[in-house]
Amino acid sequence: MKFTNGFWLMKKEITPLYAVEYAGHEMRGRELTVYAVGKHIEGRGDCLNVGMLTVRLYSPAKQIIHVTVSHFEGGCARRLYADAADLAPDIALHEDERQLVFQTGSLRAVICKEPNRWEIAYYDGDRFLTRTGYRNMACMSNRENGKRYMVEQLSLSPGEYVYGLGERFTPFVKNGQSVEIWNEDGGTASEQTYKNVPFYLTNRGYGVLVDSMGDVAFEIASEKVEQVQFSMEGERIGYYLIAGGTPKGTLERYTGLAGRPALPPAWSFGLWLTTSFTTNYDEETTGSFIQGMADRGIPLHVFHFDCYWMQAYHWCDFLWDPQTFPDPRGMLRRYKERGLKLCVWINPYIAQRSRLFAEGKEAGYLVKKEDGSLWQTDLWQPGMALVDFTNPDAAAWYRGKLKSLLDMGVDCFKTDFGERIPVRGIRWHDGSDAEDMHNYYTYLYNRTVFELLEQERGPGEAVVFARSAVAGGQRFPVHWGGDCSATYASMAETLRGGLSLACCGFGFWSHDISGFEQTATADIYKRWCQFGLLSSHSRLHGSSSYRVPWLFDEEACVVLKEMVELKCRLMPYLYRLAVEAHEKGLPVLRPMFMEFPEDRSCLPLDMQYMLGDSLLVAPVFEESGEAEYYLPAGSWCNLLTGETLTGPGWQKGKFDYHTMPLLATPDTILPIGACSAQPEYDYTEGVTLLLTEFADGACARTFIPDTKGRKAMYAEAVRNGGTITVTVTGGGRWSCRMAGKAAARIEQEDERAVVYL
């Protein structure tokens, strides 16, 4: 939201109350309150007829400062950020004639006390991060509609880039963009998005989380090119400033505050195949898909039934369509006997024709309007209503309906939708603000389903496939990218969305391989299979046509088989990344700048990514098979071609459908598993420790987990002159080899190997 007319003037309807100068402070317990008056005070008479902003600083955790700015404090409270941690750190306050310093760890907020000069500057040690100062912090009054808006602006330094703000499909670097934190079902080709998170990360080693679940408007170097502005309606705004030193360090602190992903089960990393969003499927159809994959030797691990497992107009009643699926329990048993996990589509909308509508209406489990009647719409399902998850009894009722499906043999749920939440004239069971609930609803929806799965299947076995999210939603993995199209441009925008979401602490992410809308060419299908199997989770799904590979061409079957088998062999590495996402909040898919923050060439890159810390992936986006990608410094080895390339610098290559830029980082131990058919197996049994080229003196360490996330094997490799010594502890059966080139020889004993170069 913009309030100014250029730098000097305000919009004609806006009256600003800016923080102009310090007017006193109080320290109560761990909270510092600072008063900022709206004009320069020279004498006592100036203290009359003037507005004031109240600024409170508090630290919920080391290296994090929570700042709130309020004007009038007599209004109704809004919903703040969900379930933020409070770790009660040590804080310090220092004061002299010129300034106040509020400190937690090495993070300092320096508040200027000088007359006619308002400023709060943030430092990590002696390193400047950002500041709010002249004509930044404000309450804006709109004379035309009578509304007030709270505004804060934080400075950007030259060369500072802003990332994140949810899963955004617009340019990856957010500088110059206006962003509205408002969940919408808008596909992947616009500025709307399903997953809005009021958190941004910069390459200067800090991040900012606005603490509201409501509608926050960001102007990122747009209204004022040297500022990030965020604003919202009301008399209060708050934000956490989080200093981590590096992008990964900041994410680790942010997710410590906001929540880290649960550890998904290892089986969920395999290949998911769905019925697609089609109406004409039954057990014969789905069975033909499963058998077709088996006939072609393509490993398949999860089968998903989309919308039409239920009768049309009955969504959601959670009953199998009896005409299409007369024996659902038997069908699920037969599929599980083939080693498959099973997923079914759900959403939180209850059609009027559903058996649950009257039941939910009678019990008061559906969202109501202010006059006490049910809110209903014909958008999506005729006469549909909405489950009110602010009512604990309604959440328990909904879980009970899903439990019957788990008892039948279903393993997980695709938690679709959750964005089309009404705001006008709505009364929630717990009295929540209607605008806040528009975004927050998806958090309650996915938490309800995820907690049921944890309760019934146990910790480490719960997984959903969710489309919508808000801050904190990363706790309930996995999320997928929504409705993309079957084009290279849409494949690229999908990747941008995943990279932006990764900057907000979402550890696990997927997308519809080959696009949801339309049907891809065989060329795009094969290239998207490469990209999709090098994501944390991999799903074949579409709209009006099936996505089995033989409908594209026979080579697509070969490509898909190769990529699924590669992913299964990479599981000792990928599941280590999953454990780190769970324990530290670091995403599996990472933007280049996150791993290489000192390499300025990496800052804008959005057509390649790091799969964890050891693999660089550059999907091919051209029908010609050409790819151009950037390598940071060092010697890199392509796992698929064996070619060794040296960075820093740009590389060009042409790749057939069986190769692509997939490069292991220098000085790396990459564990390659012995199983190519399943994602869930003993990762330490027969594992190969693949060593990339080590610089002299370089040392690398890694661990290999078991399928429950426990650290089962540790490996260390150190180069000294012409040898690399590898030490392994923790058991298991292993061997080692060099990537890209043969070693002169390798001598291996029980827990030690020496590689002669």
Active site positions, annotated: 416, 419, 483
How far, in Å, CA of 518 to CA of 511, rounded?
Answer: 15
Residues 6+ apart with CB under 8 A from 2: 11, 178, 219, 222, 223
Burial 667-699 (b: 16+ CB within 10 A, else e): bbbbbbbbbbbbbbbbbbbebbbbbbbbeeebe
When computed from its CA atoms, the radius of gyration of the chain, rounded to whole angstroms, is: 27
Pick from 711, 579, 680, 571: which is nearest to 262 by CA?
579
The three-state secondary structure class of 433 is coil
Q: List C-alpha distances in Å: 274 to 304, 343, 556.
A: 4, 9, 17
H or E element, residue 492:
helix 488-502
Question: Is beta strand 227-233 parallel, antiparallel or unpaired with respect to 216-220?
Answer: antiparallel
Question: Is beta strand 92-95 parallel, antiparallel or unpaired with respect to 64-70?
Answer: unpaired
User: What phi and psi values does residue 336 have, to the nearest 5 degrees?
Assistant: -70, -30
* Sheet containing 711-720: order of strands: 699-705, 711-720, 723-729, 752-756, 745-748
Please give the structure tokens belonging to residue 86. Answer: 């409070």
Contact between residue 632 and residue 647 where contact means Cβ atoms under 8 Å apart: yes
How far, in Å, CA of 357 to CA of 359, rounded?
Answer: 5
* Sheet containing 127-132: order of strands: 92-95, 99-104, 107-112, 120-124, 127-132
How far, in Å, CA of 127 to CA of 129, rounded?
Answer: 6
**E-assigned strands of 156-215?**
162-164, 177-181, 199-202, 206-210
Pick from 341, 594, 313: which is nearest to 457 by CA?
341
Please give the structure tokens belonging to residue 217. Answer: 């408007």
